[in-house]
Amino acid sequence: MGRGRCPASRLAYRLAQHPTFKDVIIEPVGIGEETIATDEALDAWLLGSIGFAGFHPAGTCKMGPAVYPMAVVDQYCRVHGLEGLRVTDASVMPDVVRANTNATTIMIAERVAGWI
């Protein structure tokens, strides 16, 4: 198994397999053992599944109703299926903004803080 370029992605996958998460994670979406088997396969999956523009990742935490299989958060950035957890960073952006992601992320966090 390749272990070179994406150790954090592999670690996150392995952590999600731990029995502690069996009641929270029903099944991984779009990623499996074959995807993390090699650097090339993992790179291809990451590039095809996550929005990237240089070093500003965005769009990794899809926003939408709970009935959408790929949606992770609702329109108020609340994580589906977990009470009291919100995601307020660039991952909820559907696309990478043309400006620096920092300012947009601050705006998202301030807006959500206002709802809390």
Catalytic residues: 56
Give the angle subtended at the CA of 74 by the CAs of 70 and 76, to the nearest 5°: 150
Q: Which two tokens stand for residue 18?
A: 């731990």
- Pairwise CA distance, residues 78 & 88, whole Å: 9
